[in-house]
Amino acid sequence: MANLRCVAPWMLCGITVILLSSACESIPELGSTGMSITHQAKKQKANPAESYRTRFQTEKDPKALDWILKNRLYSGMSRGSVEKEIGEEGEFQESSKWLKATGGTFRTSDKAYKWGPDQSGRSVYLIFRENILVNFDPEDFELGK
């Protein structure tokens, strides 16, 4: 029994050393800024949606807006989500009867919002029913059309 008491603390120290050395892979390696190397790499690899959003906001680039419309929006999104994806609030259109008459299954109570104009002078009108995007088809915004 006396031998067991002498061996137990050494075994405990040995197990602790093994556990600590095996956990080193999970400790993030820090770069010069104090951020982990993987976090820095992710930060440098910009989100494409954010890149296009910034291009539309700063340059009013029509291709950037087309990319957002094609890849980030879908029917059923809330108006707040659409505005977040585009990067700016839409402008409510008081008189949108002309727009609702151009086709689609719109209701008189639906609300139209405008984004733009972009560099080419084009504005995009989206229709919302109870603040939900309706009758939106991303295929209408094929790049290169």
Question: Is residue 112 over pLDDT 80?
Answer: yes
pTM score, whole prediction: 0.66
Residue 5 lies in a domain: no
Q: What is the mean pLDDT of residues 65-79?
A: 96
If one compares 108 and 133, the residue with the highest pLDDT of the two is 133
Residue 23 lies in a domain: no
In the prediction, which pLDDT does 28 show?
Answer: 53
Say if CB 142 and CB 85 are below 8 A apart: no
Residue 53 is part of which domain span? 48-135
CA trace torsion 84, 85, 88, 90 (10° rounding): -100
Residue 21 lies in a domain: no
For the ranges 68-77, 91-100, 130-139, which has the lowest average pLDDT?
91-100
Residue 64 lies in a domain: yes
Residue 68 lies in a domain: yes
List Cα–Cα distances, 31 to 20, 28, 34, 42, in angstroms: 22, 9, 5, 13
Total of domains in the chain: 1
Residue 9 lies in a domain: no
CA trace torsion 47, 52, 56, 60 (10° rounding): 150
The CA distance from 138 to 86, in Å, is 14
